[in-house]
Every structure is written in structure tokens, then in C-alpha cells.
Amino acid sequence: MNLLVTGGTGQLGRAITRLGSAQHQITAPGSAELDATDARAVASAIAESRPDLVIHAGAMTDVDGCEHDPKLAHRINGLGTQNVAAASASAGTPIVYVSTNFVFDGSLERPYLEFDTPNPISLYGASKLAGEHAVSSLNPQHYIVRTAMVYDETGHNFVNSMLRLATQHPKLTIVDDQYGNPTYAGDLALGILQLIQSGAFGTYHVTNAGTASWHEWAVKIFELSGVETPTEPIPGSQFKRAATPPANGVLDNMAAAGLGIELPHWHDALERYLHRRSELAG
């Protein structure tokens, strides 16, 4: 397939290009090359590349930054997505929109299914949900893919931050009452590449298997990395930040599993990430 991937320089965009290029022709501009908030530029890019499918991975993912600048958050995640959805629909091209567990409020006592009602409690979640609405209303040929806690070897993410902070502090305090599915960008990319082969449009949750709190995740990162920095679990109420994450951000991958798309456990993914990270550093 000929794929156009927005946000091509981001964690997921890089992973899709790296893992999908052997099978697909991929054009993956970064935001500096393709500004999704520019409707004419988006329409022109789609007209020029004539993709078989668009993967809209570009987004403002700075969760706290969205709280500080709501207009920018909605401009990028809402309007930008609306532009991509409209242009892809006009071209008769299917779209994959990458969304987030932050569209839920975290109040359920079980993992969130694809068909549970979103109710975001942060600007980030609200802006990403606005993108979901734009995609579902403008382009009937759509895949909405929600994911959580994404990381890769070189991006700005929780895993890389923990490994850096462990070298700078004698002890770390980490939130232990907010849960989700740690998801390796490489596995997420493969899951999306499988999904687009199915032709089964709809809403999907695609994450690595298993769940963890931020503290549990950090403990496993340090264990597998041989890091001995001690950690102290704390409630989220003691960690001051602009945004309020869902306490329960765990996603159930029911719909994708029904298509045979099931990602490995996050422990396995983390081991592979650390191995590749070491190779890249060496």
C-alpha cells in the first residue's frame, strides 16, 4: 500500500516507517513539513502522494501543555484532525486516527471497552476526543485506534525520563494509583499495520497486554536495566501537575483481539525496547 503518515518524526510515525517500509511505500512528513492545521497544505499533500490510506499520528501529546494552552491543543488535535479527515474523505481515502485512553474519565472499576462512553477530564483528552468526532463524522472509512502510555527508544517519554532521572536523584517518588497499559511504539505500529490489512473499519484499542501503575512500570524498568535507584510509591494527589490523568486508564483490546490482533505483554515489549535502546546507544 501507499501510506501517508502524519507526525512522521514522532515516536509512532518513526516506528511505522521503520517497520512498514519493507511492505509498503510510506511518506511520513513531520509537522515542520506538513502542518495539519493548514487545510490547503493537507489537501495538497494527499492529492500529491495519492495514498491508499492516511495514518494520522500527528498530535499535540504534551498533556500538561494542553492545559496551559487549550486553544493550541484544540487547533492541533481537533482542527488538524478535522482537516486530515475531510481531505482524506474528499479523496476517497481511508484514515487511521490515533487516539488515547485520556478520552475516558477513569471512573470505571474495569478496563475500558471500545464502546464505553468517553468523558475526558483533561484538555488533552477533550481535544483528542474532538478529533475522534471529526474523523467519525467526516470519513466513513475510518479506524480510530486508542492506545496508552506510548514509548520508544529515542522519544520524550516515561521510560526514557525514568532512566535519566535515576542518574540524577538518589531516590524517586512515583505515582502508584493511576493505571494504564504501557505500550511500545514498535508493537503499536505493527498492530496498526495489521489492522489496516483487515478492512474492518471501526474503533479499536491497541496496547500491549497487561497493566501497570506508573510506579510498577518504573520498578520494572529499573529491574530490567540493572538500576538500583530506590523508588517510593505516592498517590497522584501528591504529584502536582496541570492535567488530571484518569485513575483507571486501562484499555481492553476486545475488538482488535476479535480480528486476531493481540500485542505481547508489556514486560516482553520493555525487554525488547531496552535491548534495541542499548544497540542504538552503542
Q: How far apart are CA 249 and CA 252, in angstroms?
A: 10
Return the C-alpha cell found at 264.
Answer: 505481547
Name the one residue in this structure whose C-alpha cell is 470519513.
Answer: 139
Coarse DSSP helix, strand, coil percentages of the chain, rounded to the nearest 5 percent: 45, 15, 40
pLDDT for position 29: 97
Query: Which one has a higher pLDDT value, 240 or 197?
Result: 197
The span from the CA of 102 to the CA of 105, in Å, is 7
Amino acid letter at 86? A
Q: How confident is the model at residue 84 (pLDDT cuts 50, 70, 90)?
A: very high
Question: What average pLDDT does range 223-246 have in this prediction?
Answer: 95
Q: Where are the domains of the chain?
A: 2-156+182-208+250-265
- CA torsion 207-212-214-219 (nearest 10°) is -120
Task: Say which residues have a Cβ less than 8 Å from residue 126's Cβ, sequence separation at least 6.
Answer: 73, 74, 120
Catalytically active residues, by annotation: 124
Q: What is the pLDDT of residues 12-37, one digit of tens each?
A: 999 999 999 999 999 999 999 999 99
Q: Which of 194, 184, 196 is nearest to 158 (CA)?
A: 184
Within 10 Å of residue 69's Cβ, how many Cβ atoms?
14
CATH tag for 2-156+182-208+250-265 (out of 3.20.20.70, 3.40.50.150, 1.20.1740.10, 3.40.50.720)? 3.40.50.720
The closest of 42, 63, 173, 192 to 127, measured between CA atoms, is 63
Residue 154 binned pLDDT confidence (cut-offs 50, 70, 90): confident
Query: What one-letter code names the amino acid at 201?
Result: F
Handedness of CA 83, 89, 95, 100 (dihedral sign): positive
Q: Are 222 and 166 in contact (CB under 8 A)?
A: yes
pLDDT tens digits, 177-214: 999 999 999 999 999 999 999 999 999 999 999 999 99
Mean residue pLDDT of the chain comes to 97
Return the pLDDT at 120: 98
Q: How far is CA 83 from CA 35, 73, 107, in A?
A: 10, 15, 32
What's the mean pLDDT in 237-249?
A: 94
pLDDT of 3 reads 98
Q: Is the pLDDT of residue 282 over 90?
A: no
